[in-house]
Structure 1
């Protein structure tokens, strides 16, 4: 049981670091006054947003956050059983 705790803890730390890096790589959403003036340009790029760099980062953020939550729950359950 101790080996399982160590493995889960290592996986949790890896997921934490990965989540932090992914969130820090994402660009800011604030465009300021230029975003309100040129807001119509986003509708063209909005169609292919899932294929863009930002879309991929958002997808990986969701996946890594889900893995982080799942690993935390599993680790708590393992600690309760031990």
Structure 2
């Protein structure tokens, strides 16, 4: 059981590092008054939005976050059985 806990812990650590990198590589979102004014241009360019690198990174962040959450729950269950 200790080996399985160690493997899940290592996977969770790697998943956390990948989440950090994915978030750092994303560009910042416009906010405030300039974001409200630039909203018209965003709607014109939104048709290719799913193909951009930021969209792919956002999608990857969601999936990796879900895997991180599942690994956390598995680790919690494994720790509960060991006690």
Of the structure 1 ranges 25-34 and 49-58, higher mean CA displacement relative to structure 2 is found in: 25-34
- Structure with the larger helix share: 2
Q: Which runs of 4+ in 1 moved over 2 A?
A: 30-39
Tell me, yes or no, if structure 1 residue 50 matches structure 2 residue 50.
yes
In the alignment, the residues of structure 2 paired with residue 53 and residue 23 of structure 1 have an alpha-carbon distance, to the nearest angstrom, of: 12
Residue 65 of structure 1 and its aligned partner are, at CA, apart by 0.6
What secondary structure sits across from 1:30 in the alignment?
A: coil
Q: Could you say which residue in structure 2 is the equivalent of 1:40?
A: 40
Q: Could you say which residue in structure 1 is the equivalent of 2:29?
A: 29
Tell me, yes or no, if structure 1 residue 73 matches structure 2 residue 40.
no
Residue 51 of structure 1 and its aligned partner are, at CA, apart by 1.1
Residue 35 of structure 1 and its aligned partner are, at CA, apart by 4.0
What secondary structure sits across from 2:28 in the alignment?
A: coil
In the alignment, the residues of structure 2 paired with residue 80 and residue 70 of structure 1 have an alpha-carbon distance, to the nearest angstrom, of: 15
TM-score using structure 2 length: 0.87
Gaps of 5+ in 2: none
Gaps of 5+ in 1: none
What secondary structure sits across from 1:17 in the alignment?
A: helix
TM-score using structure 1 length: 0.88
Residue 78 of structure 1 and its aligned partner are, at CA, apart by 0.6
